[in-house]
Chain A
Amino acid sequence: MSAANRRERKGTPMAEALVIRGLNKRFGGLRAVQDVSFTVQENETVALIGPNGAGKTTSFNLITGFHRPDSGSVSAYGREIVGLKPHDICAHGLARTFQVAKPFGAMTVLANVMTGAFLRDKHIAVAREKAREAIEFVGLSAREHTAAKDLTTIDQRRLEMARALATEPRLLLLDEVMAGLNPAEIDQAVALVGKLSKRGLTIVIVEHVMRAIMAVARHIVVLDHGQKIAEGSPKEIVENPEVVRAYLGSYVHPPTPGET
């Protein structure tokens, strides 16, 4: 489905938050990402899915400046960001989390999130205030003074989100925030992503948990072997034979009514 169709579907014209065109990345002989293009509209939640090794995390690294694409362009809010350093891209309003959470283990939860808040304001008191707000938003207030290394998996993911939120992003890139969570925790995480989206954030989410994707994403991009093989609404994606073939053997939940 093209961007124009998505505009039509919503009824109102939307601004483009992220436009990715012809992205390519090779690691030696491996073509990790091949000619991938997609667009993320503002205030939309887009899911990037695909089997292991499909190039999802590499795409994230290309977008956020951790890797430099061999060719292609990434434009965020009207500015070309290929070639910028990760911290510049964060300052431009794109915050990410990591597949394997990277908390600053020796720091407390509060100090972790304050470090993110310093991007917009270098005053301790202001940063602390903003950090508390972000911590409360992700539901981690009770752990404020816990050292980050002592957190459980889901709390570490929460912390990553709070830290990213503290940088006041416009677009949030979540890399498998639900991996390793139990079903109850996944529900909590889904609720949290929904809450972020309601707050007006544009979200790109890489995820394996289909149930979660169907619940949060309005638009899905499917990668396989570094190539985009399909793109569309959750309903279109689960019915796409190409996608089913890529996921051969894995069971894809159909979307339940009201969630699409």
Chain B
Amino acid sequence: MQNLDKWKALSLAALAAIVLVLPLVVKSSFAIDIFIRILLFSFIGVAWNLMGGYAKQLSLGHAAYFGLGAYTSTILQIDFGISPWIGMIAGGVVAMLASLPIGWLCFRLRGPYFTIATIATAQALMLIFLKFRDLAWGAEGTTIPNLGNAPLMMQFEAKAAYYYVALGLLVVGLAITHLIERSWMGYYLVAIGEDEDAAEAIGVNAPRIKRDIYMISSFLTALAGTFYTQYIYFIDPATAFSFSISIEAALVSIVGGIGTLWGPVIGTILLETTSTLLQSWLGGSVGGVQLTVYSLILMAVILWRPTGLMGMISEAWRRYVSRKPARA
């Protein structure tokens, strides 16, 4: 047992070392861009997974918080000259506050009805930012003024710097998940996801727990929104509140394994590499082929491995390495 723990710690340290030196070794900006996308979407997946995975509250509206985070920091930066580092936290707080009324409405519904309601909230926010031009530049959006190398304004000349920021976000997300998973909160979340009535019957205040985890999840998702806007130097409602962000957040977790610490990371690595590779191999041929193949891979994973890749890995681990039944 002790050996196993040591082995685990060692492999984690090795992973950390690899991840840290990666941008120093790999110089191709195309590759670093892919790494950044992987880190960012892993982080969004981790944020989504807290609520969608552990508590099984399948939200497809997390773009609402991604967009709110992006817009809050951008408005603060352009209109008030406030650093996006501060704007990032402010965006998180705005998203957290927005999750209260949205959650109050959506949590009245369960199952697919809840999911549909969350989609609607993200779409409604997108429309608000599209129609009300006074609020924030309307449909055409705006570019972020390029200040060259300005670390205090979250702008860097070297792509590697963005890599480390995204990595930092992911580490924060994983640490929070790890802490929650190991505490009473983690047990309560899984209990709610398994059977809300049974959870209530043993004293779990399900509405409050769901509200709290929604706030945490929204806060983290908003941080990703700020980062993404700073990274691509552009914001408009269609990208900030894009439905595909909501989908991606859920998808990477589902493919990787919902309700597991590393699930969203593994899911993102698989999906991002597959889609990038497919694009470079098949992108030039008949339009849409790479998307078709991508969809087929998705269907295969969901059909054959509904517990996600983490389920497969931990099963193999149990069978070949630790030889003990499911852990508590």
Contacts and interface: CB of A to CB of B under 8 A. Distances in A.
B194 A106 contact: yes
Contact of B188 (A91, A106, A115): A115
A15 interface: no
Nearest to B187: A115
Contacts of A147: 326
B126 interface: no
B194 A91 contact: no
Interface centre among B184, B187, B201 (most CB of A within 10 A): B201
A111 B187 contact: yes
A118 B192 CA distance: 14
Contacts of A87: 200-201, 203-206
A145 B195 CA distance: 20
Contacts, number: 94
A220 interface: no
Interface string A66-101: 100000000000000000011100110001101000
B253 to A, nearest CB: 15
Contact of B326 (A103, A104, A108): A108
Contacts of B200: 66, 85-87, 90
Given A87-B206, A124-B182, A146 B194 contact: no
B199 interface: yes
B194 A116 contact: no
A99 B324 CA distance: 32
A85 B209 CA distance: 14
Contacts of A64: 201
A98 B203 contact: no
Interface residues on A, range: 20 to 34
B222 to A, nearest CB: 28
A56 interface: no
Contacts of B205: 85, 87
Contact of A114 (B187, B195, B259): B187
Contacts of A66: 197, 200-201
Nearest to B56: A106
A166 interface: yes
Contacts of B187: 107, 111, 114-115, 118
B97 interface: no
B57 to A, nearest CB: 15
A119 B203 contact: yes
Contacts of A98: 197-198, 201
B275 to A, nearest CB: 30
A66 B325 CA distance: 35
Contacts of B197: 66, 86, 98, 102
A85 B195 CA distance: 16
Interface centre among B187, B200, B203 (most CB of A within 10 A): B203
B156 to A, nearest CB: 41
B194 A90 contact: no
Contacts of A103: 194-195, 198
What are the 3 A-B residue pairs with the smallest beta carbon separation, nearest first? A119-B203, A102-B198, A104-B194
Given A105-B194, A111-B328, 10 more contacts: A87-B201, A95-B201, A95-B202, A104-B194, A104-B199, A107-B191, A107-B194, A124-B184, A146-B326, A166-B202
20 contacts: A66-B201, A85-B200, A87-B203, A87-B204, A87-B206, A102-B197, A102-B198, A103-B194, A103-B198, A104-B190, A107-B191, A108-B325, A108-B328, A110-B328, A111-B187, A115-B191, A115-B199, A116-B202, A119-B202, A167-B202
Interface of A: 64, 66, 85-87, 90-91, 95-96, 98, 102-108, 110-111, 114-116, 118-119, 122, 124, 127, 145-147, 163-164, 166-167
